């Protein structure tokens, strides 16, 4: 279970380095923000969040950094919405509720969830991960 908290600059630096990422100012800033919120954010979200702070970061760098973080396993991509990729600072195995109306993603703890009976993988294939997305729609009639 990922705990929402603030990391010191040293912890963030070590975190990036542990993943083979050169800890630049922009990358540290984006990492700080990702792990402070511990929520599912889009590139646009990150771009806006990072630019409420003092130092501006370009959109290109936001995309490059999120891509780099995902590639190095610091965060993971969640493909649930056809319009944008979500980035998830929680890389532990877990699943998602997706509210198709609002676009809200919510974690489902892997603890207790069992998926059995999956067929064996095609020849020569390695499993990268299993995504489970439970699509939800809020009932039209609100509880009164």
Contact residues toward Mn ion (CB under 5 A) are 82-83
* Residue placing its CB nearer to Mn ion in the complex, 11 or 77: 77
User: Within 10 A of 29 (CB to CB), how many other CB atoms are there?
Assistant: 21
Determine the distance from the C-alpha atom of residue 110 to the mean position of all C-alpha atoms in its chain, rounded to a whole number: 16
**How far is 23 from 125, CA to CA, in rounded Å?**
33
Q: Is the separation of the CB atoms in 34 and 88 below 8 Å?
A: no
Is residue 108 part of the contact set for its own copies (CB under 8 A)? yes
Q: Is the separation of the CB atoms in 72 and 20 below 8 Å?
A: yes
Residue from 107, 108, 133, 136 in contact with Zn ion (CB under 5 A):
107
Is residue 92 part of the contact set for its own copies (CB under 8 A)? no
Residue from 74, 88, 89, 98 in contact with Zn ion (CB under 5 A):
88
Q: Spell out the residues 6+ positions from residue 111 whose beta carbon is closer than 8 angstroms to its own.
A: none
Task: Please work out the total of residues on this chain that contact its own copies, with binding judged by CB under 8 A.
Answer: 42
Give the shortest CB-110-to-Mn ion separation in angstroms.
27
- Among Mn ion, its own copies, DNA, none, what does residue 129 contact (CB within 5–8 Å per kind)? its own copies
Measured CA to CA in angstroms, residue 74 lies from 21, 26, 30, 143 at distances of 10, 15, 12, 41
Give the shortest CB-39-to-its own copies separation in angstroms.
16
What are the residues binding its own copies (CB under 8 A)? 77, 79-82, 85, 95, 97, 99-100, 106, 108-109, 112-119, 121-139, 142-143
């Amino acid at each position: 279970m990922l705990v929402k908290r603030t990391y010191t600059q040293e912890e963030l630096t070590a975190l990036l380095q542990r993943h083979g990422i050169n800890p630049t100012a922009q990358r540290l800033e984006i990492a700080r923000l990702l792990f402070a919120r511990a929520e599912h954010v889009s590139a646009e979200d990150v771009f806006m969040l990072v630019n409420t702070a003092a130092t501006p970061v370009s959109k290109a760098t936001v995309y490059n950094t999120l891509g780099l973080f995902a590639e190095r396993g610091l965060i993971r991509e969640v493909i649930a919405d056809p319009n944008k990729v979500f980035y998830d600072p929680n890389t532990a195995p877990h699943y998602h509720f997706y509210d198709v109306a609002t676009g809200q993603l919510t974690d489902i703890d892997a603890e207790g969830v069992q998926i059995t009976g999956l067929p064996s993988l095609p020849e020569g294939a390695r499993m990268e991960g299993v995504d489970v997305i439970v699509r939800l729609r809020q009932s039209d009639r609100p509880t009164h």
